[in-house]
């Protein structure tokens, strides 16, 4: 057993984040299928649905980060986020059960899911730093992302199978159990109480995270890389379910399998990142992750076969987790404890805030051209994120000792 997993509080945190990620994996498959199969959503409406999920990252991340640093109540915030997300999923099922589910309600629900997912994500890195010493950051990030990828295998695959068996709304009802389980595990995790910071500027401290990023060249590069990949990967993900159902005529189970293979690739990526980073540095691993997570996606629209979709999902999942671990480790190593949540919030405002723009862009481009064209542009555009790394000192970043 890895040394960190022998620590019971980290183990509870690790399992909780994995279970929560499994819930996200089910929702990632079931919500778009509810829109397409139950409500017959168009390409533009699918873009709006994805944008609604990520809009809170743009609007609220910096403010939530400032609140987290001031209160030091990260665990309570994450538990609240899990409980509310479970309630929202139950609400979708109830509306469907009484034949009252509409696209407007689904959009509102997805927006609120985004609000509380943002709350969860802002605090997650802070709790991680509370539980893990700096010399274990790479090992800890690999465990977290490995568990997340494994959970996504189960979540995405189960989501597709359950939609085939019991419908998308019932799948979302069952998905609520994952968030309740995560909340229960977090409630039993002991973490040190973070010191409460006095706000000396009267602005809630929101600007502090943005100022830190503005004056830290390597963090600025990480923001630029993730914002670029998030824009185009969200453009891709907002449309791919529609492409797979309408043009390739894949069943929900096959779509779940494709998502599951992406998560299998993520598991492999979590295992490979540490030795790769030790050999070529985290900066080199980040470059490889960016290219591997984006370029293979072009095979889905250009080749358009089930084999191409599955292979592209596997490789892109591998690259995506390599990128995530590299960015997460660099961020944790570079940012001081006393501003970590504020900088995390500001980071998410820009990088995750780019996702609704990408989703809307995908819907518009697909409406004006075609799904194939829009998905190809998304794959190529995401690969362009590596340009930010060409002359950046981030490329030479090594694993902290």
pLDDT band at 399 (very low <50, low <70, confident <90, very high): low
Q: Specify if 315 maps to a domain.
A: yes
Q: How far is CA 23 from CA 152, 155, 299, in A?
A: 8, 6, 28
Q: Specify if 195 maps to a domain.
A: no
Q: Specify if 194 maps to a domain.
A: no
Q: Specify if 197 maps to a domain.
A: no
* Distant-in-sequence, close-in-space partners of 392: CB < 8 Å, separation ≥ 6: 217, 218, 221, 283
pLDDT for 193 equals 57
Nearest to 246 by CA among 36, 46, 59: 36
pLDDT tens-digit readout, 29-63: 788 888 888 888 887 888 888 788 878 877 887 77
* Distant-in-sequence, close-in-space partners of 53: CB < 8 Å, separation ≥ 6: 110, 111, 113, 114, 117, 355, 356, 359
Q: Specify if 61 maps to a domain.
A: yes
pLDDT for 211 equals 85
Q: Specify if 199 maps to a domain.
A: no
Structural domain total, the chain: 1
pLDDT for 203 equals 46
Q: Specify if 168 maps to a domain.
A: yes
Print burial letters for 171-192: b (CB count within 10 Å at least 16), e (below 16): bbbbbbebbebbbebbeebebe
**Higher model confidence: residue 370 or residue 33?**
370
* DSSP secondary structure string for all residues of 145-158: HHHHHHHHHHHHHH
Average pLDDT score over residue span 395-401 = 68
pTM for this prediction:
0.69
Q: What are phi and psi of 147, to 5 degrees?
A: -65, -40
Q: What is the CATH number of the domain that holds 266?
A: 1.20.1250.20
pLDDT band at 13 (very low <50, low <70, confident <90, very high): very high
234 within 8 A of 359, measured Cβ to Cβ: yes
pLDDT for 204 equals 46
Average pLDDT score over residue span 375-389 = 94
* DSSP secondary structure string for all residues of 260-295: HHHHHHHHHHHHHHHHHHHHHHHHHHHHHHHHHHHG
pLDDT for 319 equals 93
Q: How many CB atoms lie within 10 A of CB 336?
A: 9
Nearest to 28 by CA among 119, 145, 158, 123: 158
Chain-centroid distance of CA 175 in Å reads 17
List the single range of 1-5, 51-55, 92-96, 322-326 with lowest mean pLDDT.
1-5
**Higher model confidence: residue 136 or residue 309?**
309
Is the pLDDT assigned to residue 288 strictly greater than 90? yes
Is the pLDDT assigned to residue 163 strictly greater than 60? yes
348 within 8 A of 188, measured Cβ to Cβ: no
Parent domain of 87: 3-189+206-396
pLDDT tens-digit readout, 169-187: 888 888 899 999 999 999 9
Q: Specify if 354 maps to a domain.
A: yes
């Amino acid at each position: 057993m890895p040394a960190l997993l022998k620590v019971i509080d980290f183990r509870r945190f690790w399992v909780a984040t994995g279970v929560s990620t499994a819930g996200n994996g089910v929702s990632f498959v079931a919500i778009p299928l509810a829109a397409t199969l139950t409500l017959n959503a168009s390409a533009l409406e699918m873009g709006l649905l994805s944008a609604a999920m990520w809009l809170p990252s743009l609007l609220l991340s910096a403010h939530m980060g400032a609140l987290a640093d001031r209160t030091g109540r990260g665990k309570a915030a994450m538990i609240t986020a899990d409980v509310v997300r479970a309630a929202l999923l139950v609400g979708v099922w109830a509306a469907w059960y009484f034949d009252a589910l509409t696209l407007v309600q689904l959009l509102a629900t997805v927006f609120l899911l985004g609000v509380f997912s943002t709350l969860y994500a802002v605090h997650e890195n802070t709790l991680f730093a509370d539980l893990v010493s700096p010399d274990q950051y790479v090992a800890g990030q690999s465990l977290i992302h490995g568990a997340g990828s494994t959970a996504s295998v189960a979540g995405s695959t189960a989501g597709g199978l359950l939609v085939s068996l019991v419908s998308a709304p019932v799948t979302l009802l069952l998905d609520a159990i994952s968030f309740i389980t995560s909340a229960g595990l977090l409630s039993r995790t002991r973490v040190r109480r973070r010191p409460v910071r006095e706000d000396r500027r009267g602005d809630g401290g929101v600007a502090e995270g943005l100022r830190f990023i503005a004056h830290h060249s390597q963090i600025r590069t990480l923001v630029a890389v993730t914002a670029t990949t998030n824009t185009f990967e969200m453009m891709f993900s907002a449309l791919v379910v529609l492409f797979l159902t309408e043009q390739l005529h894949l069943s929900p189970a096959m779509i779940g399998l494709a998502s599951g293979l992406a998560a299998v690739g993520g598991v492999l990526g979590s295992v490979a990142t540490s030795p790769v980073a030790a050999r070529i540095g985290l900066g080199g691993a980040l470059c490889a992750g960016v290219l591997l997570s984006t370029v293979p996606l072009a095979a889905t629209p250009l080749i358009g076969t089930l084999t191409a979709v599955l292979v592209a999902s596997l490789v892109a999942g591998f690259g995506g987790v390599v990128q995530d671990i590299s960015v997460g480790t660099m961020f944790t190593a570079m940012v001081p404890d006393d501003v970590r949540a504020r900088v995390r919030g500001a980071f998410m405002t820009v990088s995750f805030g780019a996702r609704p723009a990408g989703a809307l862009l995908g819907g518009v481009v697909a409406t004006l051209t075609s799904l194939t064209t829009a998905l190809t542009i998304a794959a190529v555009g995401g690969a362009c994120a590596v340009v930010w790394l060409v002359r950046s000192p981030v490329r030479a970043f090594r694993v902290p000792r």
